[in-house]
Structure 1
Amino acid sequence: MKNNILIVFGTRPEAIKMAPLVNALKKEALFNVKVCVTAQHREMLDQVLDFFSIIPDYDLNIMKANQTLHSLTAAVIEGLKPILDDFSPQYVFVHGDTTTTMAASLAGFYSGAEVCHVEAGLRTFNKYSPFPEEINRKITGVIANYHFAPTQIAQQNLLSEGVKAEDIIVTGNTVIDSLLESMLKVNSAYSNEEIEELKGTLSFEKDIVLVTGHRRENHGDGFLNICKALEMISKLDNVEIVYPVHLNPNVKDVVFEKLSNNENIKLIKPLSYPTFLWLMNKSKIILTDSGGIQEEAPSLGKPVLVMRDTTERPEAVSAGTVLLVGTETNKIFEESKRLLQDKKSYEEMSMLHNPYGDGHAVKRIVEFVLNRASKNSNG
């Protein structure tokens, strides 16, 4: 008898990191796998589904203008109930730290499923930073039956919270599996309209500084400081900044007001996943407040400056592949200048080992679940 598995995600980063796992689990004869997307982020999610050829079995389509965390949480739980009642999964897979993740783990628990948490155990130990992600992953960690920790530090965090050792496996991060698979595709003469447009827009003989920024805790003064730093960086010799601007008005309005008249700063619309990978690979350094980029960029040899005061990914800081610079204007500028102008500093950072995995995280997760499913069916 097959084990029913429901995989739930709602945002682009979750889709990127879960796509190789979806495809691997579907190849196993022991499992009947269905995918539910909440579409917490609609357009950006759909681009990834298309790139990885994933067609959801269920689509809650819950994204609404001006949605709140309260309404989002309620919509996920309510939307999942009839699906869980109908499909009766033995396992519900969730990823990381989104509101979809937290609400889906709770809904799965209510339905009697065993909750499997991919990218488990990340912590900043500050429940307000990142907000609400830190609390989302802690709640999910309390509910989950099985924890797929990307690193030994994440494993230790879970052990210190009382999770049983036999319910945790260190897998590496599935984002590396996804990145390596995707780069093979992107590098094999892959192109699209976005890439061709960028080729005509950007001066690739210059050092490209790629910027992303959207974190809720940086809204307001944080983004004003970041914009000042970008203005200063744009005045350095042989530098061009490209910034795919997040659609959130709290980000977009400030960035366009402060930076739209600077010819050395190209403000562009958010990019599809394959185009973003292509641009990361063409960049010299990356400035970001994103979590996933801290994991991906080291595999491409790209130094990352993290514009946050805390990170749930201390492994990258310890390994030296990323540097925390916060949102202090002068620090962002000085560290960017150092990497752009000091060849030795750049090479030291770009040649370091990625602490987030070897591209075999999915294989380890599938083997773990196969083992547990076999034990359960025999026991």
Structure 2
Amino acid sequence: MKVMVVMGTRPEVIKLAPVVGALRAVMETVVCSTGQHREMLDQALSFFGIVPDLELDTMRPGQTLNALSARLLAALDEALEHEAPDWVIVQGDTTTAFCAALAAFHRGIRVGHVEAGLRTGDLASPFPEEANRSLLSRIATLHFAPTRLARDNLIREGVPAARIVVTGNTVVDAIHAVRRSWAHTPTRSPLPDWTGAQQSHVLVTCHRRENFGDVLSGICKVLRDLSERYADYRWVFPVHLNPAVRGPVLRELGGIPNLAMIEPVDYPTSLYLISRSALVVSDSGGIQEEAPTFGVPVVVMRNHTERREGVDAGFATLAGQSVEGIERAVTSWLDDPARRESLRNRPNPYGDGAASQRIAASLGGRPDEVSSG
């Protein structure tokens, strides 16, 4: 059997790298990179030691989502014709994932969807991810749901239970691999004056389209106020490369002594910063899944989350996009050290580190679900 694994962004590489390793051990596996996020994609590929078998040149400066989709469909169709895989494996909710699944569907090729079943119920939040993953679920053959909540979402939408496998989230597999690498290659802090565990910090990330414009200005305002109020914390903000984020953030948050705006960091460094944080303030989906491994709480700067498991387990607070909501959520965590400490020994609700093996076993006809979740 031959499978093609398609990836185009850094989060896809992170979550599919363990899957590629598990698949290569048991079947012919072709890795196809669309280059949707070129710089950050290459960084992650290098860390996990993945050299794509196919690299598609689909990105153009300033192109619209429709233009990107058209280029992806044409390039992926050619790749599928050339490779003729039995399965196409995609992850999550990117434009790459949806277009790869649609191209495979058009050619009658079976689709395996890793991290299937995440939903907010609002097609505009997040945009376009909620639409991508919802549409993808209509054409996928096998749905690898990370949790039982995700499985329940799919069943409510009419997906047959026999086509769903609850695997856990592959990001936990990736985290385990990174932590093992720290034993022989310790990660260095990106901050030149870093004082390690003696100085607590708050990690901030922001990149989602729904937070662009006026919302981002409000986020910058509340971050400025909070960093000044909590001056005993070091605030660390790896600023995304997207000009819609980078311009406003650099302009509005400059000159704050205890707020360090740094370049985007590689995945091991990102995990290292999370592990040393008192709190993470973010609109990232991946960080909501990663932080629980280190017992670190997350303030989610979004109106909806498709990752309710972290909220229900006490790791995350859904703050919304308003200045008032973000401020209230951050202060509730920073003013309560005992609440933060209570998270340290709780299990990660998103998985146990064996999701990739379950996915490979399912594709090989030996389904194995997580026992609880």
TM-score of the aligned structures, taking structure 2 as reference length: 0.95
Bigger shift: 231-240 or 113-122? Answer: 231-240
Q: Deviations over 1:81-116 (max 9, x none)?
A: 121111111100000000001100000111221000
**Cα drift, residue 197 of structure 1:** 4.3
Given that 2:207 and 2:245 are in contact with CA atoms closer than 8 Å, whether structure 1 keeps it comes out as yes
Change (3 A) 1:112 1:252: same
What is the aligned partner in structure 2 of residue 278 from structure 1?
272
What is the aligned partner in structure 2 of residue 201 from structure 1?
193
- The residue correspondences of 1:102-117 to structure 2 (distance < 5 A) are 102-117=98-113
Instruction: Tell me the SS of whatever aligns to 1:148.
Output: strand
Instruction: Tell me the SS of whatever aligns to 2:363.
Output: helix
- Give the Cα–Cα distance (whole angstroms) in 1 for the partners of residues 87 and 357 of structure 2: 17
Instruction: Tell me the SS of whatever aligns to 1:371.
Output: coil
1:14 maps to amino acid: E
Bigger shift: 234-243 or 11-20? Answer: 234-243
What is the aligned partner in structure 2 of residue 377 from structure 1?
none
What is the aligned partner in structure 2 of residue 9 from structure 1?
7
- Give the Cα–Cα distance (whole angstroms) in 1 for the partners of residues 202 and 249 of structure 2: 16
- Give the Cα–Cα distance (whole angstroms) in 1 for the partners of residues 42 and 32 of structure 2: 13
1:256 maps onto 2:250 in alignment: yes
- The residue correspondences of 1:75-90 to structure 2 (distance < 5 A) are 75-90=71-86
What is the aligned partner in structure 2 of residue 228 from structure 1?
221
- Give the Cα–Cα distance (whole angstroms) in 1 for the partners of residues 125 and 327 of structure 2: 23
Instruction: Tell me the SS of whatever aligns to 1:284.
Output: strand
Q: Percent identity?
A: 45
Q: Deviations over 1:28-47 (max 9, x none)?
A: 1xx21100010100010001
Given the alignment, which residue of 322, 329, 353 partners 1:359? 353
**Cα drift, residue 187 of structure 1:** 4.2
Given that 1:60 and 1:79 are in contact with CA atoms closer than 8 Å, whether structure 2 keeps it comes out as yes
- The residue correspondences of 1:44-59 to structure 2 (distance < 5 A) are 44-59=40-55
1:148 maps onto 2:144 in alignment: yes
Instruction: Tell me the SS of whatever aligns to 1:263.
Output: coil
What is the aligned partner in structure 2 of residue 92 from structure 1?
88
What is the aligned partner in structure 2 of residue 321 from structure 1?
315
1:155 maps to amino acid: R
- Give the Cα–Cα distance (whole angstroms) in 2 for the partners of residues 89 and 328 of structure 1: 47
Higher percent of residues as helix: 1
**Cα drift, residue 242 of structure 1:** 0.5
Given the alignment, which residue of 327, 331, 334 partners 1:340? 334
2:256 maps to amino acid: N
1:68 maps onto 2:68 in alignment: no
Instruction: Tell me the SS of whatever aligns to 1:184.
Output: helix
1:241 maps onto 2:235 in alignment: yes
Given that 2:295 and 2:344 are in contact with CA atoms closer than 8 Å, whether structure 1 keeps it comes out as yes
Q: Deviations over 1:115-140 (max 9, x none)?
A: 00000000001000000000000111
Given that 1:39 and 1:59 are in contact with CA atoms closer than 8 Å, whether structure 2 keeps it comes out as yes
Given the alignment, which residue of 18, 21, 26 partners 1:20? 18
Given that 1:303 and 1:350 are in contact with CA atoms closer than 8 Å, whether structure 2 keeps it comes out as no
**Cα drift, residue 188 of structure 1:** 3.3
**Cα drift, residue 341 of structure 1:** 2.9
Q: Deviations over 1:279-331 (max 9, x none)?
A: 11121110000001100100111111100010011111111111101122233
Change (3 A) 1:351 1:340: farther
Gaps of 5+ in 2: 368-373
TM-score of the aligned structures, taking structure 1 as reference length: 0.93
Q: Deviations over 1:128-154 (max 9, x none)?
A: 000000000011100100000001111
Bigger shift: 238-247 or 322-331? Answer: 322-331
Given the alignment, which residue of 12, 30, 43 partners 1:34? 30
What is the aligned partner in structure 2 of residue 218 from structure 1?
211
1:253 maps to amino acid: G
Gaps of 5+ in 1: 374-379
- Give the Cα–Cα distance (whole angstroms) in 2 for the partners of residues 276 and 187 of structure 1: 17
**Cα drift, residue 254 of structure 1:** 0.7
Q: Over the residues paired in the alignment, what is the CA RMSD in angstroms?
A: 1.5
- Give the Cα–Cα distance (whole angstroms) in 2 for the partners of residues 181 and 149 of structure 1: 21
Given that 1:227 and 1:255 are in contact with CA atoms closer than 8 Å, whether structure 2 keeps it comes out as yes
Given the alignment, which residue of 150, 153, 157 partners 2:153? 157
